[in-house]
Structure 1
Amino acid sequence: MPLIDTLARLEAVGSGRAQPTATVRHRHLSGRPLVFVPLTTAGEAGAPLGALVGTDRDAPRLLVVPQPRDRDLRFTFLAELADVILPYIDSHAADVETAERTETDPETGKRVKVETELCADAPQLIVPSRTGLAFVRLLGRSMRFRRTAEQDPQAPYPAPPRVPLLGRWLTHYGERSRVPGSALLLALTDVLSRHWATGQSGLEDQHLGALLAWLDPPAGTSGAEAAREAELARDPAGQLRCPPAGPATDPAFDNKLLAPAIERYDRARTALAAAEDPLEADDRLAALTRAEREIRELIESQARPTWDAVWRGLDLLRALPAGGHAEERWTRDRWSFTGHRDRVLAGEPPQPRRDDAVTAANKLATREREQARLEAQEALDDPLVMAGRRLAGEAFAGEVTEVVMAYGEGRRPSPRPLVTVRTEDRPHLAERAKVYRSLAGRPQSAQFVERAAEDAIVLRILDKMGRGKEPEPGSVPEKGDRVCFTLFEHEQRGGAKLPDPEETPWTHGGPPGEAVPEAADRITEEDVL
């Protein structure tokens, strides 16, 4: 944990209120996000119990599985979920703009710019906590390989038509959420924890009610007291006043309220199936309707507090100004969304259950590169984040006290001015180390020359000064300027190109034809909800 975050947590404990660890919002927030609050059945991993989902804060759609062990009712739930999410996705897929991107020419092998379609915006999904991200990935995995009656008339338990398509989209969003800085699928607790530090552990921050209690405690109480109340307070019936943010439910709710209600539903359904007289059937149908309504009310009572808490958290985040690079990262999310839209429209098969070696290596390299890029961009956007890097010796700031014009050796001498910076920071500078500063949005590099004094550092500016013999105006710091240099690069470089999957060496599953690959859509226990 960075030192400045530790200091913020200590201050939160002392003050009784969460302390900011950022001055700007480092994640893009859509003007119309889709909030998804799922609940699952205890004792059966991934089995859906119900959900609140929608884009309207005041009118969420309630989806319920009255008997989670009934496969048909589960498919009905998934079909209803698809009826909510897929139209929201489709509403963003048609609105496109023309954009340029760099691609490799297959004939020449050179990088060229081509014009292509880019979705003007992308749908954003919000779940309450990190466990919600795992549930979205599980839903995607369990749905994308399902066969519909149209695809396979002989398939046992055929899925409703749009369920596999929703599974492909949820899988894509689940994978994209693992890319640092991505905002297509966000866990609200993670985003809030990035911008505020509480006086509790990171694990305790995953309780949305407790986290919000630290951020906005009631008058006259401390964050710790409010968080304890949110986690433990129960009503006279023994139920939590602030239900967990899911997808798991509280055992007291399961045992005392939900299980008896499902049992009454089962009895009513059995009685209706056994009814022979039409009048008797009407009475038993009314009893079944009452039992189902009772379950719906119970599920809503558990999910609605979390639904309201998610929107409260979004309000807190919207009060922060957007970070300078947040929109750039969102553009990469739009490219990701557009690319998956194109793959779906082209009729490509669903994502495989297991990536091949090259794909897995590319994903890992991408995530490492995006993590380094995110850390650099957050520091450049936010002085509070930069302060943490300065405390860690990864950056320094100070006042320019002297500028001496000098020139490099060569056939055509280029300007290499020497700049002396007086600073109280203690950067970890090695001999001839490179440092960087942001100049009009572009990184300008300099080289560490020497320490002129205990608090003075001499740097040699290396680039971004134009092509002339004299530096362009504004490209070199002047005496009295406040400057900030970092020891980390502002832009991350790509790694070496990996071989094509068909050219993968034998150590990673190749060469092709020597081994029979595992079927990508083989059904496993993990695929069955």
Structure 2
Amino acid sequence: MSTLRVLATLEATATGRAVPVTTVRHTHIADRPLVFIPLNLAGEACAPLAALVGTDRNAPELLAVPQPKDRTERFLFAARLAGHLLPYAEGFTAATEMYESGRGAKKEQRERCTDAPQLVVPNSAGVSFLRLLGRSTRFRRTEGPYAVDPSVPRLGQWLSWFTDQSEFPTSSLLLPLTQQLSAHWATGQSPTEDAHLGALMGWIDPPDGTDGPAAARWAEDPANSPPAGPATDPQFDTILSELYTAIDQAQGERHRAAAIRQLETQLLPQLLPTWQLMWRGIDRLRDIPAGRSVASRWQTDRDRFTAFSAYLADGGLPQARREHASGAARRLARLEDAADRYRSERAFDDPLVMAEYELSGEAVVGTVTGGEPDRTVTGRSGRALLRPLVTLTVQSPGRLKISDKVRSPARPGQTAEVLAIRGKGEGSYDIDFELSGGMGRSQKPPPPEGSIPKLGEEVCYTTLPTFTLPAALPEDESTPWTHGGPPQAYEPTDDDANEAWE
């Protein structure tokens, strides 16, 4: 936990209200997200009990499973869920746009969807539930023994893809709400307590006449605010046991239907409070203006969604249970690149986030006290190059060293190199920066105004990169023998559908 986060937590404790730890929103919030609240049968790894799902806050759809231990009932639930998720996701493929990709001779026209689906679940456990549900459905056969509805394996492919994307911090395709809220507010409780959606929202948006601690205590009582799933309240499990016994012992279809209606009557009050909390949380996030990098990250999500939709439309096979060596290495490289990119973009978008790096020494903030805006140096070709000099007076140089390359959030297209660091006494330092880029090609600083920092301007410079180069990895056919050699083409087998919990 950063120093600023600790200070915000202390302030929240003192005031009884959550404290914003960002000035902008760092995730995309869709205009029409699909909210999904799952419940799982206690003691089972992946036995759906019920779910509340929908895109309209005023019209949630309850999906109940009459007997979660019955394999057939579980896949009927999956088919009903597919009836909601597949039309929602595939509906975004109708509208597309053309754009240019690449540079120079490699520039080409490509097509992508103008928008993409977004799933929102209450917490990280909801993501884990979807991952297991995707694994248990994407390999199912639609013919022969134990055949399932054709929508079930397609649902599994989509769920596996959504949960894979959620591992990238830059992606907004599948959002656990508690994680997103905690990234934008600090409360006076522990991170473990922040995983409770009701308690977290109690700090962020307490009811009139109360404060965060009181609202959180009220929400932590299952009688007031049932768990947000997938786990259920142990006391409610007792009621469930009786209801399932009544369904199993029902004589005739009419009595069984009545018992199922009674089950749904008991399930709905367990899910509706979370449904209402989730839409409140989405509203609070939507109230925060989006950072400038959010749109470009969502554009990447749209690119990935377009590619996966096309893959499925071409009859793409379900994702393998395990990556081969070269595929796993490329995925790890993409994850590392996404983490670095997200870290930098958050800081460049948000002065509060950048302040954390100032405290850690990865950024400095100071006042311009000198400079040479017309300074030139001789390049390798012998031509004079415009390289202005800016002197910044700071309280601490942090971790900056001579020759470090830095950038400013106010001028991300301009690189600066540290030329000198001089102590002035009384705890202040002068740092000389040589500027390059973002100034055109002339020998004098061109408009627009502000391309070069002016005297008296407060400027931030950081060593955080604005982009990272992707790792150079061999193609599949060049995988060395130490990593299993070139991988064989993947072909699904009947064993792929077997899971340890079944």
The TM-score normalised by the length of structure 1 is 0.89
* SS of corresponding position for 1:470: coil
Match of 1:243 among 219, 222, 226: 226
Counterpart residue number, 1:434: 405
CA distance in 2, matches of 1:472, 1:363: 43
2:259 counterpart of 1:291: yes
Deviations 1:46-94 (A, max 9, x none): 1000100010101111100011111221111111100111111121011
Number of residue pairs aligned between Structure 1 and Structure 2: 494
Summarize the Cα distance change of 1:491–1:512 in structure 2 as closer, same or farther, 3 Å threshold.
closer
Q: What CA distance in whole angstroms lies between the structure 2 residues aligned with 1:449 and 1:425?
A: 14
| Cα distance change, pair 188–494 in 1 and its aligned pair in 2 (3 A) | same
1:449 maps to what in 2?
420
Q: Which amino acid aligns with 1:142?
A: S
Structure 1 partner of 2:474: 499
Unaligned runs of 5+ residues in structure 1 are: 104-109, 235-239, 273-284
Q: Which residue of 1 aligns with 2:496?
A: 523
**CA spacing shift, 1:111–1:263, aligned 2, 3 Å:** farther
Instruction: Specify every segment of 5 or more residues in structure 2 that has no aligned partner in the other structure, as ranges.
Output: none
Kept after mapping to 1: 8 A contact 2:35/2:55 = yes
Q: Which residue of 1 aligns with 2:446?
A: 472
Alignment partner, residue 197 of structure 1:
186
Shift of 1:521: 5.9
Q: Which amino acid aligns with 1:85?
A: L
What is the percentage of aligned positions where both structures have the same residue? Answer: 46
Tell me what 1:237 maps to.
none
Most deviating of 344-353 and 332-341: 344-353
Asked if 1:216 corresponds to 2:205, the answer is yes
CA distance in 2, matches of 1:517, 1:466: 51
Summarize the alignment of residues 138-177 of structure 1 with structure 2, pairs less than 5 Å apart: 138-149=132-143, 154=144, 156-177=145-166
Structure 1 residue 407, shift from structure 2 partner:
2.4
Shifted more, 414-423 versus 459-468: the winner is 459-468
Question: Are 1:487 and 2:463 matched, yes or no?
Answer: yes
Match of 2:23, SS? Answer: coil
SS at 1:181 equivalent: coil
**Alignment counterpart, residue 266 of structure 1, candidates 228, 248, 267:** 248
d(CA) in 2 for partners of 1:503, 1:421: 50
Root-mean-square deviation over aligned CA pairs: 2.0
Distance 1:111 1:451, change over 3 A: farther
Q: Is the 1:447–1:462 Cα contact (8 Å) retained in structure 2?
A: no
Which of 304, 309, 315 is equivalent to 1:347?
Answer: 315
Q: Distance in 1 between matches of 2:494 and 2:480?
A: 24
Asked if structure 2 preserves the Cα contact closer than 8 Å seen for 1:35 and 1:54, the reply is yes
Partner of 1:3: 3
The alignment status of 1:370 with 2:338, answered yes or no, reads yes
Q: 1:142·1:527 contact (CA, 8 Å) conserved in 2?
A: no
- Secondary structure at the aligned position of 1:203 is classed as helix
Check 1:162–1:261 CA distance in 2 against 1; reply closer, same or farther (3 A cut).
same
Counterpart in the other structure of 1:120: 114
User: Which of 228, 246, 254 is equivalent to 2:237?
Assistant: 254
Aligned-pair distance for 1:372? 1.1
Partner residue in 2 for 1:279: none
Q: 1:168-187 to 2 correspondence within 5 Å?
A: 168-187=157-176
Q: Which amino acid aligns with 1:490?
A: T
* Residues in 2 aligned to 1:18 and 1:425: alpha-carbon distance in whole angstroms: 31
Q: How does 1:298-447 map to 2 (within 5 A)?
A: 298-404=266-372, 405-410=374-379, 411-438=382-409, 442-447=413-418
Aligned residue identity for 1:492: T
Partner SS state of residue 141, structure 1: helix
* 1:443 CA displacement: 4.1
Deviations 1:365-393 (A, max 9, x none): 11111111111111111111111121111
Partners of 2:318 and 2:57 lie apart in 1 by 33
For residues 49 and 517 of structure 1, what CA distance do their matches in structure 2 show? Answer: 33
Change (3 A) 1:389 1:52: same
SS at match of 2:46: coil
Distance 2:500 2:313 in 1: 25
Task: Check 1:527–1:56 CA distance in 2 against 1; reply closer, same or farther (3 A cut).
Answer: farther
Structure 1 residues 527 and 308, CA gap change in structure 2 (3 angstroms): farther
Which residue in the other structure is 2:40 paired with?
A: 40
Q: Is the 8 A contact 2:320 2:490 kept in 1?
A: no
Tell me: CA distance 1:527–1:118, structure 2 relative to 1, closer, same or farther (3 Å): farther
SS at match of 2:230: coil
Mean Cα deviation higher: 115-124 or 483-492: 483-492
Cα distance in 1 for residues equivalent to 2:199 and 2:306: 37
Give me the whole-angstrom Cα distance separating, in 1, the residues matched to 2:14 and 2:396.
Answer: 27
Residue 12 of structure 1 and its aligned partner are, at CA, apart by 1.3
1:203 CA drift (Å): 1.8
Q: Following the alignment from structure 2 to structure 1, what is the Cα–Cα distance between the partners of residues 396 and 301?
A: 36
The separation in 1 between residues aligned to 2:105 and 2:332, in whole angstroms, is 23
SS in structure 1 opposite 2:161?
A: helix
The alpha-carbon distance between structure 1 residues 306 and 49, as it changes in their structure 2 partners (threshold 3 A), is same
SS state at 1:435 partner = strand
2:187, 2:396 → 1: CA distance? 27
| Aligned-partner SS, 1:43 | coil
Superposed displacement of residue 465, structure 1: 2.6
- Alpha carbons of structure 1 residues 17 and 438: separation in structure 2 relative to 1, 3 Å: closer
Q: Is residue 25–residue 291 contact of structure 2 (8 Å, CA) maintained in 1?
A: yes
The answer (yes or no) to whether the contact 2:477–2:486 under 8 Å persists in 1 is: yes
Deviation, structure 1 residue 298: 1.5
What secondary structure does 2:499 align onto? helix
Residue 174 of structure 1 deviates from its aligned partner by 0.4
**Counterpart amino acid of residue 59 in structure 1:** A
* Secondary structure at the counterpart of residue 384 of structure 2: coil
State the shift of 1:520 in Å.
6.2
Indicate the SS of the match to 2:24. coil
Q: CA offset at residue 225 of structure 1?
A: 2.6
| Counterpart contact for 1:64–1:77, Cα < 8 Å | yes
Contact 1:209-1:227 within 8 A present in 2 as well: yes
Q: For each residue in 1:444-479, what CA deviation from the matched residue of structure 2 results, as whole angstroms up to 9, or x when unmatched?
A: 333242225223222121333322222323432221
Amino acid of the structure 2 residue aligned with 1:12: A
Among candidates 115, 131, 134, match of residue 137 of structure 1:
131
Whole-Å Cα distance in 1 between the matches of residues 213 and 46 of structure 2? 32
1-structure distance, mates of 2:235, 2:401: 59
- Supply the distance in 2 between the matched residues of 1:384 and 1:93 (Cα, whole angstroms): 37
